[in-house]
Structure 1
Amino acid sequence: MKKTILALAVATVTLAGCMTYDPYTGEEKVSNATKGSVIGAIGGAAVGAATSSSDDRGKGALIGAASGAAVGGGIGYYMDRQEAKLRRQLEGTGVRVVRNGDQIDLIMPGNITFATDQSSIRPAFTDTLQSVALVLKEFDKTTIRIEGHTDSTGSDSYNQLLSERRASSVRDFLLNQGIEPSRTRAVGYGERYPVASNETAAGREQNRRVELTLVPMQQ
């Protein structure tokens, strides 16, 4: 088992050398595929060792590690590639790309997506959404959750309906670009989930937004 542990350690160090470039910060970082591979390798090794006979535990751990690394890294690598392409396409558009594990969030501020009190997408924003749709069509193994959010101005019921209409407008646009309907879900949250204070104009502007959450279908 000591040799097995040493082999896993070497593999982990090798995987940790896999880096990705973040065009927003200009920094290199360990890719999520690497993190997934390391976690998968450790988990696979444990399962492989536990399910093997005492004489074959070292071999079982290595086989399990290789299998776990492939599974753990596959999803991460797929989402790494999608994230990188989205960042390139959306740089300078005002849309934020946020990575959280194997989930990617696209945060679209209301000031660039919709006019005040309107649910029709601004004509100037359609090119950006078309760029998003192209990437989503290429990476078709992800589900797309479209969330509408508002500030607290106006009644709760009005804001709820407005957020639903805005989310539906973005979903309809993506469907018109060829995205499969079964991959998408639109939901409105009204003013329930602010990301900033509604006491200031700047805060209210941040709260008026649409978010796309991309999750791998394997999850």
Structure 2
Amino acid sequence: MRKLIALSACIFGAGAVAACTTTDPYTGAPVRNNTATGAIAGALGGAALGYLTNTNRSEQGRKNAMIGAGVGALAGAAVGNYMDRQQAELRRQLAGTGVDVNRQGDNIVLNMPGDVTFAVDRADIQPRFFPVLEDVARTLNAYPQTMVDVVGHADSTGAADYNQRLSERRAASVADFLISRQVMRDRLYVAGRGEDQPIASNATAEGRAQNRRVEIILRPLTG
């Protein structure tokens, strides 16, 4: 059964934000310290995660929460145009990062390979990937009429129940990061699919590397 994760937002005080800054070595300007801020977000957000079923948090419930927060639903030709613009922005932002941006109808799928996002057998995001997720969060905040599914996957190495839990933890880490960058938590569903949905053969090292991934699926909010 698909497991969904309900997310609790991370709230940072002014002191915590100030502690998470550093100096850009090229410009001398103060900038956010992604490593420190990401570590705080993971510690606070991950501790608050819990698993729910579809009955507790339905698709319609998510739509209602977004509309209740003042996010208007899309309709008709506006849907395709809206997703076209979002796709173009993501392709521009993520060019050369190793993240694939694919279109499936009105949906956009971001495929984040595990070897880029995580170390082997780990669920904490590699610091070098923080800027990539910063760009994703920035685009999501610019396109608020998009629902966001964060889905973790694993290869078939090891026990299936372990792979399931690892895929859930990795998806949760990505979702925590997005929430810490002000992405509205009611937009998010988070799930782990374990080893059940491979996109390549698990018989080869190359195939297993493709199967270890987190996908972010962007779907338009429609009435």
Q: TM-score range by the shorter chain?
A: 0.5 to 0.7
Q: CA deviation at 1:71?
A: 4.5
SS in 1 for 2:200: coil
Change (3 A) 1:217 1:156: same
Equivalent AA in structure 1 for residue 214 of structure 2:
V
- 2 CA distance for matches of 1:174 and 1:150? 21
Q: Is 2:82 aligned against 1:78? A: yes
Residues 27-106 of structure 1: pairs in structure 2 closer than 5 A? 71-106=75-110
1:143 counterpart residue number: 147
- Quote the offset at 1:72 in angstroms: 2.8
Structure label with greater radius of gyration = 1
The AA in structure 2 aligned to 1:119 is A
Distance 2:106 2:89 in 1: 15
2:159 aligned to 152, 155, 159, which one? 155
Preserved contact between residue 114 and residue 213 of structure 2 (Cα < 8 Å): yes
> CA-atom RMSD, angstroms?
1.1
Q: Is the 8 A contact 2:75 2:222 kept in 1?
A: no
CA-to-partner distance for each residue in 1:51-104, whole Å, 9 max, x for gaps?
Answer: xxxxxxxxxxxxxxxxxxx95321100000000000000000000000011100
2:151 alignment partner, SS class: strand
Q: Report 1:168-187 matches (<5 A).
A: 168-187=172-191
Count of matched residue positions in the alignment of Structure 1 and Structure 2: 150
User: Post-superposition shift, 1:150?
Assistant: 0.3
Residue 154 of structure 1 deviates from its aligned partner by: 0.5
Q: Secondary structure at the match of 2:76?
A: helix
Greater helix share, structure number: 1
Query: 2:222 maps to which residue?
Result: 218
Partner of 1:37: none
2:6 corresponds to which residue?
Answer: none
Matched AA of 1:75 = V
Letter in 2 for 1:172: D
Determine helix, strand or coil for the equivalent of 2:79: helix
Q: 2:151·2:171 contact (CA, 8 Å) conserved in 1?
A: yes
Q: Could you tell me how far 1:198 is from its partner in structure 2?
A: 0.4
Unaligned runs of at least 5 residues, structure 1: 1-69
Alignment TM-score, normalising by the size of structure 2: 0.66
**Match of residue 134 from structure 2:** 130
Per-residue deviation, 1:169: 0.3
**Quick check: 2:165–2:192 contact (8 Å CA) kept in 1?**
yes
- Is 1:165 the counterpart of 2:169? The answer is yes
CA contact (8 A) 2:107 2:217 kept: yes
Which amino acid is the alignment partner of residue 189 of structure 1? R
Structure of greater relative contact order (alpha carbons < 8 Å, 6+ residues apart): 2
Query: How high is the TM-score relative to the length of structure 1?
Result: 0.67
